Amino acid sequence: MAKLIDTIALKRLFQQGVNIIDHIRKQHSAGAADSTAVLYSYDLQAGTYTEALNNPDYAAFKTRRAKIVADLVAAVEPTSLLDVGTGEATSLLPLLQQLPTLPADLLAFDISLSRVLYARKHLAKHGIAARLFTADMTHIPLADDSIDVVLTYHVAEPNGGREAEIVKEILRVTRRRLIMMEPSWELGTDATKARIERLGYVRGLPDAIHREGHALARHELLESWRPDNQTALMVVDKQPHGVQDLGFRSPISGTPLQQRQGFLYSPQDGFAFPVIEGIPCLNPENGVLASRLDEATA
């Protein structure tokens, strides 16, 4: 769960070019298992990812990589798709533009509300609407086996030490196919390995997948934007079972959330979650305990 940190001071440091994740982990005792550093770092960066697409070479790179992913998605013919840690949807959009048919249910989330709002704006410019929300990838507010295809694009990246819980949770909500694109210590060059070790990035994701009882259908290097941050493609296929349930769940207890006036509520665990600018905020720390809400307002 994220801690509260002085954002005014962090903004100054960010403008000076300080690595916010590294700063928070050192100055505020926020270890890899703590989402604080990731939340503050990426929220402060909001807007920079869509701005980066002004570089035509970078935009072309995104399109080339999206074509590879689009083929993997289309092969499953999904009715639902989830982009985990979507950021500003700069990887999601080129993928959607290359799919022959969009899934009926398109979902995406990020830990940062600011980035989700930028994602909505970016998608809307191209006439695409998605069910967007905030969440932590280790507490995804969706039911088991609920999403046909689940994607990650360098989302697990800064969370070295959390590999097992990230893989377990993402596989939990995956119904048919998981497609992960993450930095690769296993397949990378010495320069990539050194960067992963220096920055505390994830490593051992293939082993974490195997420990969950799943085999890798594909595991290979992709074209990467940075030569010292090589990306591995990892594909996991699951046999779908049960009834697909796309309703939101409490990230605290996993119980169903009900739509109320301006918030979502779980009568079972008593937590209410705000909806800001139309975006459900479903990080665990967003929950407001109101266990007697219905009785008190009857």
Give a yes or no: residue 251 inside a domain. Answer: no
How buried is 179 (Cβ within 10 angstroms: 0-12 exposed, 13-18 middle, 19+ buried)?
buried
Residue 252 lies in a domain: no
Q: How many domains does the chain have?
A: 3
End-to-end Cα distance, the chain: 32
pLDDT values of the chain reduced to their tens digit, one per residue, 298 residues: 566 777 777 777 777 777 767 777 777 655 544 677 777 777 878 888 999 999 999 999 999 999 999 999 999 999 999 999 999 999 999 999 999 999 999 999 999 999 999 999 999 999 999 999 999 999 999 999 999 999 999 999 989 999 999 999 999 999 999 999 999 999 999 999 999 999 889 999 999 999 999 999 999 999 999 999 999 999 999 999 888 899 999 999 999 999 999 999 999 999 999 999 999 999 999 999 999 999 999 8
Three-class SS of 212-270? CCCCCCEEEECCCCCCCCCEEEEEEECCCCCCCCCCCECCCCCCECEECCCEEECCCCC
C-beta separation of 138 from 287 below 8 A? no
Domain assignment of residue 248, yes or no: no
CB 38 within 8 A of CB 283: no
**CA atoms within 13 A of residue 162's CA, in its CB half-sphere:** 20
Are 144 and 188 part of one and the same domain?
A: yes
Residues 72 and 33 in one domain: no
Please tell me whether residues 281 and 168 are part of one structural domain: no
Residue 35: give the domain boundaries: 7-45
Instruction: Indicate if 141 and 270 belong to the same structural domain.
Output: no
User: Quick check: is 267 in a domain?
Assistant: yes
Q: Are residues 83 and 211 in the same domain?
A: yes
The Cα–Cα gap between 91 and 85 comes to 10
Question: Is the dihedral angle over the CA atoms 212, 214, 219, 223 positive or is it negative?
Answer: negative
Say if residue 19 is in the same domain as residue 147.
no
Q: What is the pTM of this model?
A: 0.90
Same domain, 166 and 290: no
DSSP letter (8 states) at residue 281: B
